[in-house]
Structure 1
Amino acid sequence: MANIWEILHQPDTVVFFDIDGTLTSYNYGEHHAHHELDGTPEFRNVNIYADCKRLKPLYDYIVSHDVSRLFCISREPHGHEAWKSEMIERLYGIPASHCFYTLEAKEKPGIVKEKVKEMFPDISPESVVLMDDNDDTLGMYMTQTPFCTAHPMIFMEHI
């Protein structure tokens, strides 16, 4: 993990962050970690991102890095893209235009590869880090992309 930490702190590194569980705590509910309305039609009308707080270790990293090299990639089946993007910009300063969404997690590796090729065509794969809290997604990134992967817990280990 020391290599990942070092890569994250190189000025030319590009990072794609997941949002839920990575840049937010995922504790949206009253009695459960996830929002109780998830899966119901009324969930689409609830801005669960309005009261989110920044996660300080990740914030400290983000403000020390070139924001033009920071992006978000998130699964969003509930139509909350605008609220998520607003929250990311408000809490972390990552522009909404740097947030990409998909209905299915399995599409994340392809989207990231496409965006890296489009925006950073000459970058070394070792200078791209894909950060997600989901083991299945990290596994897909590992097998389907040439990029580095990281779990957000790396920031807790380096406090």
Structure 2
Amino acid sequence: MGQIWEILHKPDTVVFFDIDGTLTSYNYGDHHAHHELDYTPEFRDVNIYADCKRLNPIYEYIQSHDVNRLYCISREPHGHESWKSEMVERLYGIPASHCFYTLDASKKPEIVKDKIKELFPDIDPMSVVLMDDNDETLGLYMKETPFCTAHPMIFMENL
């Protein structure tokens, strides 16, 4: 993990953060980690991001990095894109325009590759880090992209 930590701290590194479980706690519910209304129609009308708190170790990293090299990619099946983007901008200072969404998590690698090609066409693939808390998504990134991957627990391990 030492190399991932070192790569994250290079000034030219571009990072794509997942949002749920990475930039926010996944403890949205009253009695369960995920919101009890999830997968119900009324969940579309609940802004679970309104009272999220920043995760300080990740916030400190973001504050020390060039925000123009920080992006988010998230699966969003509930129509909460604007609330998520607002939360990311409010808590971390990552512009809402740096947030990208998909209905299908398996599309994340393709979206990231396209964005990197568009925004940083000459970047060394080892200067891109894709951070996600989901093992399946991390596996897809590893299989389908040339980029580095990281789990957000890396910030806890390096306190």
CA distance in 2, matches of 1:49, 1:104: 20
TM superposition outliers: structure 1 runs of 4+ over 4 Å:
none
Computed over aligned residues only, the root mean square deviation of the Cα atoms, in angstroms, reads 0.2
CA distance in 1, matches of 2:119, 2:14: 10
> Which residue does 2:125 correspond to in 1?
125
* Deviation for aligned residue 1:142: 0.1
> Which residue does 1:8 correspond to in 2?
8
Alignment of 1:3-152 (within 5 A): 3-152=3-152
* Deviation for aligned residue 1:36: 0.2
* Deviation for aligned residue 1:58: 0.1
Aligned to 2:39, what secondary structure does the other structure show? Answer: coil
Gaps of 5+ in 2: none
Query: Which residue type is aligned with residue 92 of structure 2?
Result: Y
CA distance in 1, matches of 2:41, 2:11: 43
Percent identity reads: 82
Query: Which residue type is aligned with residue 2 of structure 2?
Result: A
Gaps of 5+ in 1: none
TM-score (norm 1): 1.00
Show CA shifts across 1:51-71 (max 9, x none): 100000000000000000000
CA distance in 2, matches of 1:40, 1:4: 39
Query: Which residue type is aligned with residue 36 of structure 1?
Result: E
Q: How many residues align?
A: 159
